[in-house]
Amino acid sequence: MVTDLALERGRQLVEEVDLTDPETFAGADLGDYWRRLRRENPVYWHPEAAGRPGFWVVSRYADAMTVYRDNQNYTSEKGNVLVTLLAGEDSASGRMLAVTDGPRHRDVRNVLLKAFSPRAMAAVTERVRENTHRLVADAVRRGEGDFATEVSEFVPITTISDLLGVPECDREFLLSRTRSALSSDDADQPEEDAWTARSDILLYFADLMTQRRGKDSEDVISILTNALIDGKPLARDEIVLNCYSLILGGEETSRLTMNDAVYTLAHDQEQWENLREGRVGLDTACDEALRWATPTMHFGRTAVERVTLNGQEIQPGEVVTVWHTSANRDEAVFPEPDKFDLGRTPNKHLAFGYGPHFCLGAFLARTEVSALLAALRTFTTRFEVTGPVTHFHSNFLTGLSSLPVRFTPDEVGLRTYEESR
């Protein structure tokens, strides 16, 4: 039940911020807004806006964990991001892992975990390191360029393509399609362009699936194509949609975190020196980069039973959104949450979600971000942002799509690397 108090507070807050509008997140600092929500109304009703239905907003870490742990009272099968949740359905429900619950979710996840086995990850991890070091070393040698389009774009797409078994000749095509599928550089991009990009990705994986049928290989497409659950193969749509989910999820989170890390370190000399001089470990630095960036701003659920969350009564059918961008700055969990601290520990951030839907690619994302940080401290003594940056246009993802940077090379590190190649 939406209480009068919740409605009144919601009305006041929505005058400042409309969470359904991508323009809200276009380079704006919403820190004060989220602090106010956590303090005054941590589970509040976001009223209808621009014809879109209202929904609940969860801003505190503890409440986020409560929602993520509870797969009885909340479902993912009506969508897990605002665009599908507010439409009341997700066309991939019950077929794509992210919007599937219960036994089917468990069984398909177990199939996919074969592709994330220690043996498979060992080979991928080494390729991540080699690829990242090569891209960063080349960028430093050039001296100046756009880090977002010349370096970070090519790390995760290469990694996830290796895992999926995507031929190298097709990777530029997939990269161009993922740019439009969930976010845009351009506020004026028609929604039809995003749908076209998603359709292109789905059709591409359908073709690959046909080619891999009956072939014994450890890539994700082959594993899904040839897997049996209860003696039956996965349906075509189930295979294609899960490949689509992996290519988008695996590409966006890492790339946007890398961009944010470079931007932030360029403006924080103390933390850059801590990293460069080895005063902080790569593992803790990586987790802080992920917490600080939080590229996936929210995920959501739909209530299936009447449930009370932090004093608010939520009715069946109502949408509940969990905002990582706020939970990862919760003062009750993270001391000095608005300080970028590469030595922060513990650091139980929610950049990968939590619970049954915890991101399958979390290990890969950490590997990629750690490899970037290692390459930066090896090949450059400093770097600076040289011009205006461009932010994504999205109410789901946050980050930079353009990041002009100038590097000062570490000649010893570069020479040692180049001699070893």
Mean pLDDT of 52-80: 97
Residue of 301, 298, 248, 243 whose CA lies nearest to 96? 243
CA 260 from chain centre, in angstroms, equals 12
pTM of the model: 0.92
Domain 4-420, CATH class in plain words: mainly alpha
Confidence of residue 120 (pLDDT cuts 50, 70, 90): confident
Instruction: Enter the tokens of residue 75.
Output: 């479902």
Instruction: Enter the tokens of residue 22.
Output: 């991508």
Residue 156 has pLDDT above 80, yes or no: yes
Distance CA 197, CA 72 (A): 34
Q: DSSP letter at 300?
A: E
Distance CA 327, CA 37 (A): 11
Domain ranges in the chain are 4-420
Mean pLDDT of 53-80: 97
Longest Cα separation, the chain = 69
Strands 319-323 and 55-58, sheet pairing: parallel
| Mean pLDDT score of the chain | 91
Mean pLDDT of 57-67: 98
Confidence of residue 42 (pLDDT cuts 50, 70, 90): very high
pLDDT, tens digit (0-9, with 9 covering 90-100), for 406-416: 999 999 999 99
DSSP 269-299: HHHHHHHHTTSS-HHHHHHHHHHHH--B-EE
CA 7 from chain centre, in angstroms, equals 31
Tally of residues, the chain? 421
pLDDT, tens digit (0-9, with 9 covering 90-100), for 340-353: 999 999 999 999 99
Residue of 390, 398, 405 whose CA lies nearest to 253? 398
Query: What is the model's pLDDT at position 247?
Result: 81
Instruction: Enter the tokens of residue 97.
Output: 């892992």
Dihedrals phi, psi of 35, to nearest 5 degrees: -60, -40
Query: What is the model's pLDDT at position 14?
Result: 47
Mean pLDDT of 346-374: 95
Residue 68 has pLDDT above 90, yes or no: yes
